[in-house]
Structure 1
Amino acid sequence: MSVAEARRIVLFRHAKADWPQVTDHERPLAERGRMDAAFAGRKLADTGIPFDLALCSTATRTRETWKLAVHEFEHRPKTVYEERIYDASPGELVSVLNETPDDARNVLLIGHNPGIHGLAEVLAGAAEDTARDRMARRGFPAAAFAVLTFTGNWKSVEPGAAALVAYWAPTE
């Protein structure tokens, strides 16, 4: 693929987690989170984006979110479970994206707040329609996702390099 072709990054926050007596990394999804993860998966599938790669945090709630969401996809993308996504800052997430192989055109990153929301804000140098306004108003609740596009290779992902083209949250 040519680096001049548009690429997409979809930032997907895990669904609502439960608060049992376990470490934060091991927190499972709550019942509502399981429902929202599947619904978000349908919404992600409805975008028509053919994902080449999913980068998922190793935390239990992100793995469970991904497992429920991906069942809604026609084709399952290659999945890499990456511990650096857990509790990552926007800068750390950019570093993970910079290591993405250039043959991947569309990447889904499943992670946590505040990093996912911060990354959406940092990357979005431009925005279409009302996506930025809705994201600013709603924040980045559990099971929300943002779709960003950029042109270039993955090493060129940096602040302001992308356009926010869509935003979705479960209660919208």
Structure 2
Amino acid sequence: MTVRTLILLRHAKAADPDDYATDIERPLTARGHRDAAAAGDWLRSAGLKPDAVLCSTAVRTRETLAELDVPDVPVVYEQRIYTGPAFDTLELVQQVEATVETLLLVGHNPTISDLSDELAPRALTDHGLATSGIAVHRFDGSWSGLAAAPLVDQHTARG
């Protein structure tokens, strides 16, 4: 069996929704950019280098991903990560190519926290992941068979 790692990352702090015509257009704040860069630093220090990335189509998730500084990794931008729910996002993960051992998923709450809780019930705090929150799940097996995966690490990045 292949050991697989799923890194769930909630986007960094975004601008006030009242300042934008649509939610999907909201960019990161200055703090959000710093926190996202800190998330990238933490991933590198933890030895977590993704082989592939699934990312929401929202501006704030794209900017979060850019700040992580994970070069030369294939990225798929997926609208269903933006709209949720966790079940749909899990289906996307289950379709990842078998050659991928470490997958990074950049998305939104409540979907990201709900997915983490689905994989490892009650492992996260009651409030789920904060902005720039990271949940690392690891399991033996295939992406297509993913139904449960213990939470092996978590971190909230602040820059």
Equivalence for 2:5:
8
More RCO (CA 8 Å, sep 6+): 2
TM-score (norm 2): 0.92
Structure 1: distance between partners of 2:21 and 2:103: 30
Once the two structures are superposed, the pairs formed by residues 1-172 of structure 1 within 5 Å of their partners are 4-19=1-16, 20-69=19-68, 71=69, 73=70, 75-124=71-120, 132=123, 135-136=124-125, 139-158=128-147, 161-170=148-157
Contact 2:93 2:143 in 1 (8 A): yes
Q: Which runs of 5+ in 2 are unaligned?
A: none
Structure-2 separation of matches of 1:94 and 1:5: 19
Percent of paired sites with the same residue: 38
Q: Could you give the per-residue CA deviations for residues 131-154 of structure 1, whole angstroms, max 9, x where no partner exists? A: x3xx31552100010000111111
Instruction: Map Cα deviations across residues 59-98 of structure 1 (whole Å, 9 max, x no partner).
Output: 00000000011x2x4x532111111110211101111001
TM-score, normalising length from structure 1? 0.85
Question: Alignment length, in residue pairs?
Answer: 156
How big is the alpha-carbon RMSD for the aligned residues of Structure 1 and Structure 2?
1.6
Shift in Å at residue 31 of structure 1?
1.1
Taking the aligned partners of 2:45 and 2:77, their CA distance within structure 1 comes to 24
Rounded to whole Å, the distance in 1 between the matches of 2:99 and 2:88 is 22
SS at match of 1:166: strand
